[in-house]
Structure 1
Amino acid sequence: MSEYNLPDGEVAFTVPSGGKPCFTHYWISGDLKDTTKTPLIIAHGGPGCSHNYLAILSRLTQTHGIPVILYDQLGNGLSTHLAEKNGDTEFWTIQLFIDELDNLISHLKLSEYDLLGHSWGGILGSSFAVRQPKGLRKLVLASSIAVMQDWVDAGIKLQRGLSQDVQDTITKHEREGTTGSKEYEEAMGVFYDKHLCRIKPTPRGMVETFEWMAKDTTVYHTMNGPSEFFVTGPLKDFDITSELHKITAVTLITHGHYDGAQDSVVRKFFQYIPKVKWVEFAESSHTAHLEETERYLHIVGDFLSQE
């Protein structure tokens, strides 16, 4: 459970090929009936994380009066798990998660809303926004990816900043197909400490998300692969560049200086989205909302509050 103990609920999500009833679990901070404020939906990363590490953004309700909706995507957290679909790339698709988001919006009867997608959630968010969905007002793409190969290339370059023994361990296990080993996990942990979240001890929300991911790796391993820059799943071919001009929502791009989502990864959003602003967080890696929380709430809250 999230440390914020927000009111929660769940909505049935019909997935014909799921083989069983499916549900999306969500949390709400603030009053969705307050017509003076546009609610913000937050899509978590992964794919395969949970909402917990982003729950701190519910503070936007206190700082800016913005109602916030958090949810666990299918296969993650408190939503329906489908471990039997592990490896099924025909089932786990971006379109599945777009349909789930549509279903949640419909259930909550949102006529207007903003959307913040972090990392993979931004892949989902940009893929959702290019459809010019009715009601989408503003979009935040947080440490996200326009072209997966750019993300992989940036990760490999950052990997060269690690000690040689850690680099050798990562290379060895990826070459030998032993990425499930404890040694590989520990070596990747060194990378994540520098480029995922630089705060120690690890914030509670992040720990909760890691615990959920450890319980069920189905979505992450199927869509992504063994690690952040060893992408073997279908997301390896993701490239939304040619469609970004279709995004009509006013957009904010955020990322951290030490982020795996380096300038080279987020630049295409800035180049091709028509109405866009870009903010870098100088003391952050991939989780600026945890590493520079007050500034992040200020930047994002002010952006969403502007007409």
Structure 2
Amino acid sequence: MWREIEPDERHEIMVDGHKVIAYVFGEGPETLLCLNGGPGLPCDYLREAHSCLKDRGFKVVAFDQLGTGASDRPEDEGLWTIARYVEETEAVRRTLQLGPVHLLGHSWGGWLGIDYALTYPDAIKSLILADTVADMPHLVSELERLRAALGAETVAMMQAHEAAGTFDHPEYQAAITLLNYRHVCRLPDWPAPVKRSLSDWNMGPYVTMQGPNEFLYIGNLKDWNRIADLKRIAAPVLIVVGEHDELTPACALRMKTALPAGATMNVVRNASHMPFYENPEGYYPPLLDFLARVSG
């Protein structure tokens, strides 16, 4: 279903003295505001996967978070906090006069989306938590389980390199590559928007907030946990998770059981962390059904 579409509008938004670039597709009465993963990734991979919803009557908005894509790239590590990104998201919504939105957060964008929904509950009509978590310590335990499937000798090798800080060693990178193809995107050839985002990754925000790779969390979000707060989210929630996702179905179930009754979950078969590319047939129909139910 996805395809690359030129944005109908491109906006430069000033947020606390820094330029943030936003992209708008369509002009429907209902707005889907997309928060992409990373941190540090341009929004291309998520924007191109959802701009097609303009054909279904939605206005679709995405933006390059500060430090990424066409937005400014300051080097102050103090800027890389989830609280600052929450305020940036609100500045984009307010500046573009979007009103209450359907908020779709993917991966790190889901952590951001949860904090945004808790901070600005009246700004959202619904919340889509795609391939994300609400409890980082629990995720770390799940990642250890995924790593263990590589075998004890490989895990010991990885731990030795992590202790030494030699993350660029070829044998360590080989293990990370294998995990990426198992749990990030299982397609033999990754789609062009994914490659484009990854090729322009700003590791400054990523390392500061998360860590050196997808399977080691040592940044300032390593203790982030909103499970106890999820009961305060009154908006309708759809949880999406790939069957083989690095942010695992167990993490998704942990969110569902903590949310108010009525939250729904779509486990996308034969997919990992990029279900909109890996299995579009399993991703888009449940998303569209949910949006139809909560719109208006």
Provide Cα deviations, 1:38-94, integer angstroms capped at 9, x if missing partner: 1100000111122111112111222x2222111111111111111x22xx3x43111
Offset at residue 190 of structure 1 (A): 0.9
| Unmatched tracts of structure 1, length 5 or more | 16-20
Cα distance in 1 for residues equivalent to 2:233 and 2:123: 13
CA contact 2:10–2:21 (8 Å) conserved in 1: yes
Provide Cα deviations, 1:251-275, integer angstroms capped at 9, x if missing partner: 0001011011213212232112214
Partner of 2:289: 302
Amino acid of the residue matched to residue 59 of structure 1? Answer: C
Tell which deviates more after alignment, 157-166 or 219-228.
157-166
Choose which of 226, 237, 243 in structure 2 pairs with 1:251.
237
| Unmatched tracts of structure 2, length 5 or more | none
Provide Cα deviations, 1:10-58, integer angstroms capped at 9, x if missing partner: 333333xxxxx41111211111xx33xx110000011112211111211
Amino acid of the residue matched to residue 272 of structure 1? Answer: A
CA distance 1:233–1:296, shift in 2 (3 Å): same
Displaced runs of 4 or more, over 4 A = 163-166
Choose which of 24, 31, 42 in structure 1 pairs with 2:34.
42
Partner of 2:23: 27
Residue 60 (structure 1) aligned with residue 61 (structure 2): no
Choose which of 254, 257, 269 in structure 2 pairs with 1:282.
269
Partner of 1:272: 258
Partner of 1:223: 209
Question: Percent of aligned pairs with the same residue?
Answer: 29
Amino acid of the residue matched to residue 24 of structure 1? Answer: V
Aligned residues: 290
SS of residue in 2 equivalent to 1:236: coil
SS of residue in 2 equivalent to 1:255: strand
RMSD after superposition: 1.7
Partner of 1:6: 7
Partner of 1:125: 113
SS of residue in 2 equivalent to 1:100: helix
Choose which of 43, 46, 51 in structure 2 pairs with 1:51.
43
TM-score normalised by structure 2 residue count: 0.92
Superposed counterparts of 1:77-88, under 5 Å: 77-82=69-74, 84-85=75-76, 88=77
Choose which of 139, 148, 151 in structure 1 pairs with 2:127.
139
Offset at residue 245 of structure 1 (A): 0.9
Cα distance in 2 for residues equivalent to 1:266 and 1:107: 32
TM-score normalised by structure 1 residue count: 0.89
CA distance 1:294–1:176, shift in 2 (3 Å): same
Provide Cα deviations, 1:126-157, integer angstroms capped at 9, x if missing partner: 11111243231010000111111111111110
